[in-house]
Structure formats: C-alpha cells, structure tokens
Structure 1
Amino acid sequence: MAPMAVALILGWWLVAASRAQQLPRPSLSLHPSQGVSLANNVTLRCRLPQPAAWVRLYRYQNATYIEQKDNVQDMAEFSLTSIKQEDAVRYQCQYQGLEPAGISGKSDPVKLVMTDHRYPPPGISLSPEEYVGIGTNVTIRCWNNISGVVFFLHKEGHSAPVQRQKLSAGGTATFTLFGVTTDDSGTYRCSYRITGCCLLFSPLGDNVTLEVIPRPAIPGDNGGPSRNLVAVVVGRWVAAIVFIIILTVSFLLVAQRRRMQTDERPGATPSSPEAMQFQVSPGDSEGLTYAQLQAATSSTHPRGSSTTPEPPIIYAEVGTRGPR
C-alpha cells in the first residue's frame, strides 16, 4: 500500500506542477514607483490573465504570503500603509485559476525602493560642462562622505538607474558615457544606497544637464569620429591621385627610352635617306685627278637581296700634259 500511496502523491504533484506551468504568470506593479518615503502609503497591483479563485502577495523568496484576495476577475490590489524601513524589499504575486484550474507561477519581483531623508543627497559634476559634440566621452562624478555605499546614476525619463558603481569607502564615483550621441542628451542626477537589510536610498542630488549637439566638436577638441572619417576619405583621394601621376610619368619615361634604343640599334635606317658622298681634292693644283667614293647603305638594298656588302666603285680620270 505504501508504494501505491507514494505513487499517487507523486502523480498528483506532477499534475499540479504541469498545470501551474501551463497557466500564464501574473504581473505586479508598484504605485507610486519612485519617491516613496517612510510613513508613506504604497499600492501593489497584481494583474491577471484570467479570473482567479484567489490571489496572494508574497515577499520575495518567502513561502508565507502576506495577504490574499478572493474571487478576483482581472486585478487585485494590496495596500501597504505607513510603510517602515523593513517594508523596503521585493514582492511577488500568484493566483489560482478557475478555468482552467491550477496554480500559476509567481510574478517577476518588483522593488519597493524607499528614500531615507536622514541621509544627505550626493554632489554631482559634469565634464566637459559646455556643448558636447557627437562622439565625445563625457564624465559624471558623484560624491558623499558615507562609507560602504553603492552610487546610482539616474536620467530623467528613465524609471531605473542607467549606471551603478559600488564603493568600499566614502568618496567619488565616476560614471563615463563613451562616444555620446543625441540620445544621451538629458538631465542626470545621483543617489546612493545605504547598506543593510532593506532597499534604502538617499534623496536624489542636484541635477546636471548634458546637451549633445549634432555637429563637429568645438575647436580644440579631439574632433570625434565624423572628423576622422573626413580625414580618412581625403587622404585616400590624395593617395590615389599621386599614384596615378607617378604611373603616368613612369609610362612616358619607359616609352621614350624604348624609342631611343630603337634609333641607336645597328643597321637602323639613318635619319637622312640620301647616300653619303666623299670628294677628294686634286692631288696638286695642276693635276686633274680626283676620286669619288660612293657607299650604298642597307636601306637602298631591295627586300630579299643579299646583305653582303659590294666593293666600292672607284672612278679615276687621269689627264696628262706634254712637256712644255
């Protein structure tokens, strides 16, 4: 009997677990979600995807529920009045469905963040302070004199902090916004969390305003990515033009050298196609002897003829005069 009872219990648990997994989870929200102080009232709203036999509110990771609402259609409200320091924790809700039946899983946890005005607000500074060009790195510093805190950087319009930084001792937290864009423009503030059991935060400090302008950075700045991109494009164009000029000059020099080598090659056609003639003056003033030499160049030979040089032809005319 014992093994059968164990099997029945295990089967019932598996069925219940499978039904719980099949039911969609509820969602929990906090009202107001920010600026809650000691002795304030807070409302937690659990929204349901279907009618429920009951809805329960839990502290996070706590099996015992705080409060239960029965016969709920689409939303159950839980009120916390005159909240105390220990109420600043995380909460979840859960429901039992009617059709289909079963117990849902718990909702995602929400944080009840409480502001403790007994702690002074932190200081804040912005660098650079003036107009900031796109792509610039911006530094926001927050400080206080309390040890063992966690600093948070808040941006107006965002429900959650945009950055956080833990310090082991009192001092300054440095938040850096790298390569800012126009989306980073806005108002920033700092707060810090006091260590302990609960979600206790200091009041928000003074604000600083960051304005990112959609133009190159002011003179004296790094220039940003846009200016670097222009420099790269111009540099590549200049390099291409210089390369084309060098290539053209090299081509002209090679062509000229080849033309000169062709003119100086042995057997090439002389610049003047006329035959070269040599005249020899008479041997003396009285003689009539002269010699005429004529050499035929290779250009005068017809194509296909032998290239063997022919002996020169010498013409001589001798005239004698009898004795006087």
Structure 2
Amino acid sequence: MLSPVLVPRPSLSLHPSQGVSLGDTVTLRCHLPRLAAWVRLYREGRLSYAKRKKKEQDAAEFSFVSTLQEHAGCYQCQYRVSESAEVSVKSDPVELVLTDVRYPPSSISLHPEQHVGTGTNVTIRCWNKDYGATFLLHKDGTSAPIQRQNSSGGGTATFTLFGVTPADSGTYRCSYRPWRYASMSSPLGDSVMLEVTPTAAPPGAAGSSHGNLVVVVIGGCTAAFVFILVLIIFFLLSARRHRTQRDESPGGEGVKCPYFSVDPLKRPSGSPIISFPSVF
C-alpha cells in the first residue's frame, strides 16, 4: 500500500448539510486541490467506496439515493495524484447524522418564562423517555447545535444560558442521540421562545452620570492648579536659598579659588613664602 506524502489535503462536504432523514438522498463531495486519478471515501476509518475521477473535474461525488441506518457515521476522503505515487492525507471528518422519526421528539421547558432582562441566567430543560442519550440544544437560524449534554437520571438534560443579552433572543428546540447509535437523531421537538429586553437605566442615571463627570473634571483641574502652585513656591525658595549661600561664601562672589603658591625662587628678598591651602 502506498504511504501518504505531503500533497494538499482534500476537503469533504455534505449536501444537504443537515436535516437528513432516513430514506433521503444525500451527497458527499470530495473537493480536490490537484488532479487525481482515484478518490477514496472512508466511513469510520474504513474504506467504503473508491472511484476514478475524470481529469477535468475538481471534485468527486458519492451519493446515497435512499439513506439507511448503516450510512450514518463519520466520513473522510483521500486522493491519489494522476500518473504518480503521491497520496494525500485524509480530509477533515464530516459526520452524516440521520434523523429517525421512530424516536419521539423531546419535551422542553424554559425558566424564567419567555420575557427576561439583560444579565439574567436562563435555564432550558429537555427530557424524553430514559433512552440513555446525548441531548442537543438548537437555536433557530444557527446551523450547529449550541450546546450538548448527556442525559441525567430520568432522561433529562438541563442547559443554562448565563447572563443573557438581546442577542440570545430566539426560538430554542432540543433533539437527542441515543448512546448506542451516536449518528442517529430524534426529530427536533417542541420549541420555546426567549425574549431578552435591555435593562433600562434607573431614572436620573443620565443626569447623575453627567454630574459625576463634572465633579471629576473640576477636581482634576483643582489638583493640577495646586500642584503647579507648589512647584512655583519650591523653585522660588530654592533660588532664594542659593542666592543667600552665594553671598555668604568667601570671595563675595562664591567662586572657588584654585590652589596656587608663590615660587620661592621668584619671591623678593626677605619676603615670606605665601601659600594658600587647596579648596578642593
């Protein structure tokens, strides 16, 4: 068997992508970044189908005209490059989930009911007969489930939406997948409607906020004025102290005199040697 080498990975898509029931027609399309001679389709890691692709095509399709329970599962595709030994790695997996109407839809409840304010925690409870299943929470307009949870005792799952906002408003439903058949699903059950309203600001909040802003600005200006005044006084006192020290220093001008001495060879006869100590 040829071992995969580094060639571009294909991608796999499902048509339709969701809501496929037993008996429906579904197509898996393997998109190819390079010309390929053979395309293989794997289900649950095992080779299921292989087909030769025409050179002008950039995709290979595998269709089930009437889906059966054994068609449900996780699929990947792979290709071999034309006239070479190059084999791609497998595509990212795509799951074909089939809806079986023999599973009764789950029930659903909402707490608090329907109308809530922003920031509220909302609980959505789903239940069925105790099949032992994974529940999925769906929101209308969203393609994928937004949450999933294994059922607790009694065939119940509880989903919590924390601190809801108006974006969480919408219609919610539940489905479930029996643990024994993870790629089989019940139909969507009854719906609940959630409406999140923005929490109104208390009366006078805007005026209070404006007043607080004015106080902050005035306080900041006052602090800046006091700081500048302190700096001015400090510099004036420093200048005065420096001037006083200069006036009191030897020489009157405050200039340091360097060390020097009179050369004894050049002094007048009988004159004493005059030397000044170093000021350094």
TM range (shorter): 0.5 to 0.7
SS state of the match for residue 183, structure 1?
helix
Structure 1 segments unaligned to the other structure (5+ residues): 1-11, 217-225, 245-324
The answer as to whether partners of 1:149 and 1:169 remain within 8 angstroms in 2 is no
What SS does the aligned partner of 2:171 have?
A: strand
Q: Structure 1 residue 146: deviation in Å?
A: 2.5
Return the offset for 1:200: 1.0
Within 5 A, what are the aligned runs for 1:280-319?
A: none
Q: CA deviation at 1:175?
A: 0.5
1:215 and 2:199 matched:
yes
Counterpart-to-counterpart distance in 2, 1:198 and 1:68: 28
Closer/same/farther in 2, CA of residues 209 and 196 from structure 1, 3 Å limit: same
Of 30, 53, 65, the residue aligned with 1:70 is 53
Work out whether 1:125 is the aligned partner of 2:121.
no
Q: Work out whether residues 37 and 115 of structure 1, in 8 Å CA contact, stay in contact via their aligned partners in 2.
A: yes
One-letter amino acid matched to 2:139:
K
Residues in 1 aligned to 2:114 and 2:136: alpha-carbon distance in whole angstroms: 23
Whether the 8 Å contact between 2:114 and 2:193 is mirrored in structure 1 is: no
Q: Which amino acid aligns with 1:71?
A: K
Deviation at 1:91, TM superposition (A): 0.6
User: Shift of residue 99 of structure 1?
Assistant: 8.6
- CA positional deviation for 1:177: 0.3
Post-superposition shift, 1:69? 3.1
Q: SS of 2:53's equivalent? A: strand
Q: CA RMSD in A?
A: 2.9
Residue 29 (structure 2) aligned to one of 31, 45, 54: 45
CA shift at 1:168, angstroms?
Answer: 4.8
Q: Indicate which of 136, 141, 148 corresponds to 1:152.
A: 136
SS state at 1:157 partner: coil
Match of 2:156 in 1: 172
- Secondary structure of 1:142's match? strand
Aligned counterpart, 1:247? none
Q: Equivalent residue for 1:143? A: 127
Residue 20 of structure 2 aligns with an amino acid whose one-letter code is: V
The one-letter amino acid of 2:116's match is V
Matches of 1:207 and 1:198 in 2, distance apart? Answer: 23
Please give the alpha-carbon distance, in whole angstroms, between the structure 2 residues aligned to 1:57 and 1:147: 32
Kindly state the Cα deviation for residue 54 of structure 1 after the two structures are TM-superposed.
Answer: 1.6
After the TM superposition, which residues 160-309 of structure 1 pair with which residues of structure 2 at under 5 Å, given as runs?
160-216=144-200
Whole-angstrom CA distance in 2 between matches of 1:130 and 1:91: 40
Contact 2:27 2:61 in 1 (8 A): yes
2:271 is aligned to none
Letter in 1 for 2:167: D
Amino acid at match of 1:128: P
What do the CA deviations read for 1:230-289 (whole angstroms, capped 9, x no partner)? 7xx98xx6xx99xx9xxxxxxxxxxxxxxxxxxxxxxxxxxxxxxxxxxxxxxxxxxxxx
Which whole-Å deviations, capped at 9, do the CAs of 1:60-86 have from their partners, x for residues lacking one? 322x34232323431111011222112
Match in the other structure for 1:108 = 92
2: CA distance, partners of 1:215 / 1:59: 50
Q: 2:43·2:74 contact (CA, 8 Å) conserved in 1? A: yes
1:197 positional shift: 4.1
Letter paired with 2:179: T
CA distance in 2, matches of 1:122, 1:184: 22
Within 2, Cα distance between the matches of 1:206 and 1:95? 43
Larger relative contact order, structure 1 or 2 (CA cutoff 8 Å, min sep 6):
2
Q: Is the 8 A contact 1:152 1:161 kept in 2?
A: yes
Contact 1:87 1:198 in 2 (8 A): no
Aligned residues: 211
Query: 1:211 aligns to what SS in structure 2?
Result: strand
